[in-house]
Structure 1
């Protein structure tokens, strides 16, 4: 297994960026690689299961492991066929906006393929 950490800063308030994260229906608005999210519920919660549909129709199953609203952190597992990833997200307040970090753990080839769209999405997440 490999790991990488991505970061982005922007002018969005941390509360706004966090709300974008915890509301799956909003994911396609800031994450261009996501076309749809299929999930029962309006807000992420530990144990929540669902499916993300990519721009190209590829479907990935996910399970939310943990959500910490006070610290604005959450962790989920994503499965696409035999590929398994664990993604650890955080949103931080910064003067004039917010920052976000994403630590991805999984096969090195999958991390390399996901890095570019993830960087793009993170930038949009914290954009004001």
Structure 2
């Protein structure tokens, strides 16, 4: 397993960025490759399972492992066939805006392929 860390800084307020993460309905608004989230809950919570569908028609299943509202961090596992990744997200105040961090663990080729999409999504996530 490999690990890759990404970050983005933008002008959105931390509360706004955290809401964008915790509301499943908002995921397609900041993540340009997600077109649909199917989940039996309105918001992020430990133990929630669901699927995300990409614009390429790829569907991946996920499990939210942990959510820490006070620290504004959460971890989930994503699976597409035999491919698996574990992603940990953090939201932190940064000047007049927000910094978000993403730690990804998984097969190195998968992380390398996903990183450009993740960078784009993180930049959109913290945009005002």
Aligned to 2:52: 52
Report the CA distance between 1:48 and its aligned residue.
0.1
Unaligned 5+ segments in structure 2 are: none
TM-score (norm 1): 0.99
Compute the RMSD of aligned alpha carbons: 0.4
C-alpha distance in 1 between matches for 2:100 and 2:91 = 4
Unaligned 5+ segments in structure 1 are: none
Task: For 1:10-25, list aligned pairs within 5 A.
Answer: 10-25=10-25
C-alpha distance in 1 between matches for 2:122 and 2:95 = 18
- Aligned residue for 1:112, secondary structure, equals helix
Moved beyond 3 Å, runs of 4+: none
The count of corresponding residues between Structure 1 and Structure 2 is 128
TM-score (norm 2): 0.99
1:16-39: per-residue Cα shift (whole Å, max 9, x none)?
000000111100000001010000
